[in-house]
Amino acid sequence: MKLRLLDYGSLQADLGWTMEAAGVSTHSEKAPPSPRRDFQMIGALLEHPKHGVILYEAGPAPNWADLWPQPVKEVFGINRYSDENRLDNLLKKAGYDVKDVAAIILGHMHLDHAGGLEFFRGLDVPVYAHEEEIKYSFYAIATKQDFGAYLPHYIDSAFNWKPVYGQEVELFEGITLYNTSGHTPGTLSMKVDLNNNESFLFTSDTMFFKENFFDGQPTGWLTRDMGAWWKSLSRLKRIEERYNCNVVLGHDGDIFKTYADKGILGG
């Protein structure tokens, strides 16, 4: 199996969303500045010897500017997205058409990871997401309790949803999915084993940045279940060590660049 990383552009937001107590006021510093950071939006294109082209994460919708509510654009504003970050163009650059994609795996179903399903509307491609994530995202939209993180333009029964059940599933040979909740109820981390015996571990937004995964710095306001997050951290660490994985985190631009610059991995 071969792998390449896809650059879906970036957004910028307050660091407090992803890092507990970033910019918090203190007794001696009553009004510190609020640190902000670029959030690289990351996808992965897998070429599987038996199953063909498989995508992990779909990025934002190409017309996100029309689809994202204004408050979302204010808080999580996309600051880099051009034609070269469109999923159809990224596939073209890799020698494929959107119709060549045999399966899509969603790390979770937030708007910056699943909005790009719009490229596949009407194509009936199987879209794999965790059972709990599919249930929660439709509920979040229907009740408006988590509207904005999820959007109705793609939380749509028109897509060919395929639930992934349980804690660990080898979906295709060499592609193992783990339910690592915390950020959302059904976040799916993914381990891929490449031709050259290298393994990659994608955490989606269970871990946003290096500090979360390597320093054990808890995630911030975007955490939905802190107890689950600590368990997921422990589990991901064990997987990383057991299989000696290269780790790609949900929005870490430095790690992304390290592997994206290498081009085709495992080739």
Contacts with Zn ion, residue ranges (CB under 5 A): 112, 205
Whole-number Å distance between alpha carbons of 147 and 141: 5
How far apart are CB 196 and Zn ion at their closest, in Å? 29
How far apart are CB 250 and Zn ion at their closest, in Å? 5
Nearer to Zn ion, 133 or 205 (CB): 205
Nearer to Zn ion, 249 or 265 (CB): 249
How far apart are CB 113 and Zn ion at their closest, in Å? 5
Nearer to Zn ion, 47 or 118 (CB): 118
Selection from 20, 14, 23, 2 nearest residue 175 by Cα = 2
Element at 248 (helix H, strand E): strand 246-248
Nearer to Zn ion, 96 or 147 (CB): 147
Helix (H/G/I), strand (E/B), else coil: 65? helix
Nearer to Zn ion, 7 or 205 (CB): 205
Nearer to Zn ion, 205 or 240 (CB): 205
Tokens describing residue 264? 């085709």
How far apart are CB 7 and Zn ion at their closest, in Å? 14
Tokens describing residue 57? 């994460």
Residue 159 has φ and ψ, to the nearest 5°, of: -85, 155
C-alpha dist (Å) from residue 265 to 49, 88, 89: 14, 21, 20
How far apart are CB 107 and Zn ion at their closest, in Å? 8
Q: How many CB atoms lie within 10 A of CB 71?
A: 9
Selection from 119, 112, 102 nearest residue 251 by Cα = 112
How far apart are CB 159 and Zn ion at their closest, in Å? 19
Element at 257 (helix H, strand E): helix 253-260
